[in-house]
Amino acid sequence: MSVNSNISIALSDIGVMTRRNMLRYFRLPQLLIFNALLNVVLLLLFNYVFGGAIRTGGIAYIQYFLPGFMVQTVVFGSTQTSVGLAEDLSKGMIDRFRSLPISRPAFLTGRVVADAARYAILIALMIIVGSIMGFRFENGVLPALAGVALIILFGIALTWVGVFIGTSVRDVETAQVAGFVWVFPLVFASSLYVPIETMPSWLQVFAQVNPVTPMVDTMRALALGGSLSASLWKTLVWDGVIILIFLPLALRRYRLMGQ
Amino acid sequence: MPSSIVCTDASISVEGINKRFGNVQALDNINLMIDQGTVFALLGPNGSGKTTLVRILTTLLRPDSGSAHIAGFNVIREAQSVRSVIGLAGQYPAVEEILTGKENLEMIGQLYHLGNVEAKARATELLQKFELSDAENRKVKTYSGGMRRRLDLAAALVASPSILFLDEPTTGLDPRSRLGLWEIIAAQAKDCKTVFLTTQYLEEADRLANKIAIIDKGKILREGTNQELKQCCGGDTLVKVRIADRNELPKASDALKELGGENLHSYPDMGEITLPANGGTFLLPEVVRRLDAEKILIAELALKPPTLDDVFLSITGHPAEETTELKEGSSNTP
């Protein structure tokens, strides 16, 4: 078989698996709806409860915090990937898929692509709710769109971490807890909610290397204006590093499932 | 039908397969040679290793040692080629709840790379064949157990596989669907395709298969045609007698010894004795006379076809029993 037709078969398989996962979101919309609601509630709570107490150098807290909140949406969203995948793997359907001549990465990749679409929906919702609360992009449409694209790319990278966890634990409840273990430090010990300078110095060290920090700084700069290059590079490097580590690990887990 | 159908290779060969889960030897040096066009039944009680073997032959599980070839392809090194010639219906229906019946089959067709048009046509054809056309646009979560089972079997047939694996296919089927399934299995064999099925029921194996292997605790105990297997416990029909007082079983067994010979078996747990009827009912009055002479009260007397239990008993000297729950080859097994 030629390389070309192999690639087109792989793409078609990924397409079929993506469609399957998307249909699950739209035909069982409870998960997506509660996910969205949770994000809206958190957005309201953080803005109105903590917002007043956090000094952000003169700009309104919603302006400071919403770009980060969009990033948080995809970080939390990637834990859903582990849960959904663990659920898939605990049911009989996975045996059917594994007994079909599907190109190997299609099953996992289809989920990642569908999750990327889910992130896009959630981010759009955050922008709408944020606008009602007074958030404005101050730097034009194109930088805003570029920022959203970068967040989705970041989400895709983290989703491979979620896939790795989901294929490793293969149990819905464990996947849920396992997700939060790595996600909470990433979200809170970063520049997402508060300026890093307010943290104790040892924590600042962690926050500086935390991949969430450059992603949030990048989005903030794209949304509000400001210097970009350092954080943008860091983000892209992190995306690459995470994918290069976790994509092969996840594929290996999937391949070794029948040992 | 033209008589010159060209048969593609649809044979199964299994060479020295071993598989261990923890300290349980799930499969112990399994060797099988199944020619194309065979309906092969792997007969054994729960936990005997049936599902583990099916999972290895369908590339879902790797054996610890040994190898197997499906249509000439190695199940480990050429797994992808194996997958393109097999269809699998596992023990539990593997269908998507939130998709409709039609969408399920179309999805499977696309994943077999049939092309959209062909996948749709094949889905419609199979839905008709399995009497699911009326429900084709309903989500599977509204289907009854029997309908899911039928959809699952249809999914296994989407790519017209030359080798079909059915793991306990009649579990959960109503009598009418069971007949439909039997027809499909017979049709497969006519096209010189191979069917590999597992079952716990000798009657089913007898009815469907032309070759049977008996498996127990991971070992193949006996292999042969239906006739050969049934010979071992005394033929097509057995006399079953249950006596009123179990304590009298040894006495009853002695009284009937002459009639049954080495094929007389007693089941102390149930107070039952079976012996070959040798093709007639003339033995019944004789059984009654002899037990009556010993003043042994009969609770039940019947003619019946041999069951898996009878075959097991005659081969192993113990009745077929469920092995303590062994999660057969499930992907959660460490």
User: What are the tens digits of pLDDT across the range A9-21?
Assistant: 999 999 999 999 9
- List residues in chain A touching B: CB distance below 8 A: 9, 12-13, 16, 20, 23-24, 27-28, 89-102, 170, 257-259
Integer angstrom CA distances of residue A227 from A205, A237, B32, B206, B284: 21, 18, 70, 79, 100
- Asked if residue B175 has pLDDT above 50, the reply is yes
Of A94, A100, A257, the CB nearest to B111: A100
Percent of chain B exceeding pLDDT 90 equals: 45
Do A23 and B98 count as a contact with CB atoms less than 8 A apart?
Answer: yes
Sequence-ordered alpha helix ranges (H) in A91-140: 93-98, 106-132
> How close does chain A come to B5, measured CA to CA in Å?
26
Which domains are seen in chain B, by residue range? 12-230 (3.40.50.300), 237-304 (3.30.70.100)
* Residue among A99, A102, A107 with most chain B CBs within 10 A, to mutate: A99
User: With bands split at pLDDT 50, 70 and 90, how would you rate the model's confidence at A3?
Assistant: low
| HSE-CB for B85 with a 13 A CA cutoff | 23
Q: Is residue A182 over pLDDT 90? A: no
User: Bridge partners of B195?
Assistant: B39, B164
Angle at B24 between CA B23 and CA B29, to 5 degrees: 120
CA angle, B304 as apex, B289 and B38 as ends, to 5°?
145
Over 60: is that where the pLDDT of B1 sits? no
Residue B139 DSSP class = B
- Which phi and psi angles does B171 have, rounded to 5°? -60, 125
Q: Is-above-0.90 flag for pTM?
A: no
When the pLDDT of each residue in chain B is averaged and rounded to a whole number, the result is: 86
How large is the average pLDDT for residues A141-166? Answer: 95
CB-CB under 8 Å, A99 with B59? yes
Angle at A225 (CA atoms; ends A48, A147), nearest 5 degrees: 80
Q: How far apart are CA B14 and CA A142, in angstroms?
A: 62
- Neighbour order of strands in the sheet with B86-89: B86-89, B163-167, B194-199, B39-43, B211-216, B219-224
Record the tokens describing residue A161, joined without a space.
């971490």
CA-wise closest residue to B57 among B42, B46, B38, B37: B42
Specify the pLDDT at position A213: 95
Closest-CA residue of chain B to A29: B98
> A84 CA to chain B: closest CA distance, Å?
14
Q: In Å, how far are A139, B130, B137 from B95, measured between CA atoms? A: 49, 15, 14
Give A183 to chain B, closest Cα distance, Å.
26
Mean pLDDT of B292-298: 89
CA–CA dist A49, B299 (Å, integer): 81
Tell me what pLDDT residue B3 has. 44
CB distance B97 to A92 below 8 Å? no
Which residues, including other chains, have CB under 8 Å from residue B169's CB and lie 6 or more apart?
Answer: B89, B153, B181, B197, B199
What is the residue extent of each domain of chain A? 3-258
Asked whether the beta carbons of residue A96 and residue B86 sit closer than 8 angstroms, the reply is no
Provide mean pLDDT across the span A191-205. 91
Give residue for tokens 């729950």: B325
Within 10 A of B203 (CB to CB), how many other CB atoms are there?
13
pLDDT in tens, B104-162: 999 999 999 998 999 999 999 999 988 899 999 999 999 988 889 889 999 999 999 99
- Transcribe B150-175 into DSSP letters: HHHHHHHHTT--SEEEEESTTTT--H
Q: Which residues of B touch A (CB under 8 A)?
A: 55, 58-62, 80-81, 83-84, 86, 88, 90, 92-96, 98-99, 103, 107-108, 110-113, 139, 155, 331-332
In chain A, what residues touch B84 (CB-CB under 8 Å)? 101
- Do residues A250 and A85 make contact, with C-beta atoms less than 8 angstroms apart? no
Rounded Cα distance, B193 and B7, in Å: 8
pLDDT-based confidence at residue B330 (cuts at 50, 70, 90): very low
